[in-house]
Structure 1
Amino acid sequence: MATTTRRALLAAGAAALAVPHITAEAFAAAPPRGEAAPAWYRFRHGGLEMTVVSDGPLPIRPASSGFIGVDQAEMEGLLRANFLATDHLPLEQNVLIVNTGRQLILFDTGMGNSMGAASQMFGPTTGRLLANMRAAGIEPAQIDLIALTHAHCDHCWGLVDANGAKVFPNAQVAISEADLNFWTDDANKRGPEFMTAFIDGAKKNLNAYRDRMVMARDGADIAPGIRAMAIPGHSIGHTAYAITDGGQTIINSGDISHHHVLLLQRPNWKFAFDADPDQAARTRVRFLDMVSNDRLEMLSYHFPWPGNGHVLKAGEGYAWVPSPVRTLL
């Protein structure tokens, strides 16, 4: 069998250019649309219907600003080796909605628009959850329970609108008590500059649901088949949720790892938005070991769309294997 070489491909391209141009009577010049398709993806998990909805990309610029004490050349080398840009990290926001047949459960709410200009601190590409939910046939008033992994801006600022009104008027909100207390306490406005905005936003969004809070406790179910798992470090009360049905388990892992290359291949690197970077790294390694050893599927909030896949041990770190596309048929 002949081997296709780069030279042969270039020669074929040159030959194609030599073919006489074929014209037609009418080719309308269609302008670029400048818009993307609604971003939602639906699949079965046991007997549950799972819908992943995008809140839009959340870029970190420059890429180095997302890490503490990391060698710049090593980071850029890892990104280039995986065909990724080196000047920024285009994180996704993969919001999960689970239809159990009795309840619609939403996991995190994206950036929203509750905090005005601060809601676009990562740029204008976020805050698309509601439009994409509606494109997927889901209305905010249908949500029964919101399970928050933690109270950072990109996870809870979509609870209320700019006027402070509940976006999900019929929903309860599950959150760890530690995160609820920490992120609604003005005394914690210290340290990094972003802390003041984070706390002001958490107070505005969480306090609106104070009368309908459910405490997510480690090892306890927040709904049948949905169990809370404490994974502290990124936030004091950071919580994952194991969703089990029909003998199958998928773990909504929140922000256990923000990047499918950098924080898997280098799981001990310190992420700049971690409350306790050392604890977060230890928790990350334990969690990734568990999902890898037990071959559990994982839904990651910030991994490439739609965020579900498996983790494999690879050298001193891990590798990400996205799940094949699944249909409802």
Structure 2
Amino acid sequence: MNAGFARRDLFAAGAAAAAAMILPRAEAEAAAPMRNDLPPAWHRFKWGDFEATVVSDGSLPLGKPQDSFVGPGADRITGMLTDEFLDPNAATLEQNVLVLNTGRQLLLFDTGMGESMGADSKMFGPTTGRLLANLRAAGIQPEQIDMVVATHAHCDHVWGLVDASGQRVFPNAQVAINEADVRFWTDDSNKRGPAFMNVFIEGAKKNLNAYRDRFVMVRNEQEVVPGVTAIFAPGHTVGHTCYAITSAGRTMLNSGDLAHHQVLLLRRPLMEFSFDTDPKLSAQTRARMLDRLATDRHAVLSYHFPWPGLGHVRKEGDGYGWVATPMNVTSLG
């Protein structure tokens, strides 16, 4: 007997037996309503002597990937996404916000989209702006945050600093950020080029200006607080900064927007992203940093990679691959 046919016959027999056991239709109809909601999204793990919690601000849909990912290798986008069983017609990013408890301070890395800019806060759709609800679900209150550490001043990273009325969401927090980004994104003379620049600058002004008396200007390769070192990674914005988190001899890089997509910008590091301030510089920075991460084998927390954004980068051919850390692993190695 052909083994393939034997297996199919076995499956068919099993299905028939199962069907015979189904309750009569009148007794079986108890359809539950569709919930159309999501559970709180947070993930906690130990990092050396630190405690880390990743909290979601929700997904961020970009739409057609060819509108955002351009330049070298963009002609291969459809194939790259299809090969990874991803929708070739829609790019969706995550927003993975890190909360780090050092034992002395509670740090929040970026703030998500927030609601400070009203309708503009939903420019990427209704699925963003969930940080505060998920923070509270994780047992963290906004007033407990000692410092917001910003990777850069784009909408999905600092627009959650204040609420719609302009009041501080994190009333006891300092804000650590690169001075070049503060200057650029609060300067009206930079309202030129892409259409998004106007609202991005207005949003940055509203959110950053509320903390002017609480700024801590980060310096390249210097500690922001013990165990957290700023790594200048310009291009996406003029002052885009990654942060190396080191405790008990282990290092994890909070990579911010070094790479927005786990397939497109890792397989093709020199591809460009349409929201980059300097796309060429951003691509060069990305290629250099990815090579360093693959060589040093440091763990990575990526803001926009699939939830919760934890994993490693490894060299694959002319580019790199993303190796996600399983969710059931509570202590990265």
TM-score higher than 0.5: yes
Q: Say which is worse superposed, 316-325 or 77-86, in terms of deviation.
A: 316-325
Q: How does 1:174-185 map to 2 (within 5 A)?
A: 174-185=176-187
> In structure 2, how many angstroms separate the alpha carbons of the residues matched to 1:112 and 1:50?
21
Counterpart residue number, 2:21: 21
**Contiguous gaps of at least 5 residues in structure 1:** none
**Contiguous gaps of at least 5 residues in structure 2:** none
Provide the identity percentage. 59
CA RMSD of aligned residues (A): 1.8
TM-score after normalising by structure 1: 0.95
Equivalent residue pairs, number: 326
> In structure 2, how many angstroms separate the alpha carbons of the residues matched to 1:3 and 1:47?
59
> In structure 2, how many angstroms separate the alpha carbons of the residues matched to 1:320 and 1:254?
15
> In structure 1, how many angstroms separate the alpha carbons of the residues matched to 2:3 and 2:66?
39
1:215 lines up with 2:226 in the alignment = no
- CA deviation string 1:8-38 (max 9, x = no partner): 6654443334221332867643212111111
- Name which of 54, 57, 68 aligns with 2:56: 54
Are the structure 2 counterparts of residues 72 and 286 from structure 1 closer, same or farther at C-alpha, using a change threshold of 3 Å? closer
Counterpart residue number, 1:224: 226
1:116 lines up with 2:136 in the alignment = no
- CA deviation string 1:207-261 (max 9, x = no partner): 0000100001101111011000100000000000000000000010000000000
1:158 lines up with 2:156 in the alignment = no
Task: Indicate the SS of the match to 1:167.
Answer: coil
Are the structure 2 counterparts of residues 198 and 35 from structure 1 closer, same or farther at C-alpha, using a change threshold of 3 Å? same
How far did 1:327 drift? 2.8
- Name which of 300, 325, 330 aligns with 1:327: 330
Structure 1 stretches of 4+ moved >6 Å: none
Q: How does 1:76-155 map to 2 (within 5 A)?
A: 76-155=78-157
> In structure 1, how many angstroms separate the alpha carbons of the residues matched to 2:326 and 2:15?
38
Letter in 2 for 1:297: A
How far did 1:323 drift? 1.6
> In structure 2, how many angstroms separate the alpha carbons of the residues matched to 1:134 and 1:169?
15
How far did 1:71 drift? 5.9
Are the structure 2 counterparts of residues 71 and 32 from structure 1 closer, same or farther at C-alpha, using a change threshold of 3 Å? same
TM-score after normalising by structure 2: 0.94
Counterpart residue number, 2:251: 249
> In structure 2, how many angstroms separate the alpha carbons of the residues matched to 1:143 and 1:265?
36
- Name which of 186, 189, 198 aligns with 1:187: 189
- Name which of 202, 220, 242 aligns with 2:204: 202
> In structure 1, how many angstroms separate the alpha carbons of the residues matched to 2:3 and 2:104?
56
How far did 1:74 drift? 1.3
Q: Say which is worse superposed, 318-327 or 278-287, in terms of deviation.
A: 318-327
Are the structure 2 counterparts of residues 72 and 255 from structure 1 closer, same or farther at C-alpha, using a change threshold of 3 Å? closer
Are the structure 2 counterparts of residues 4 and 268 from structure 1 closer, same or farther at C-alpha, using a change threshold of 3 Å? farther
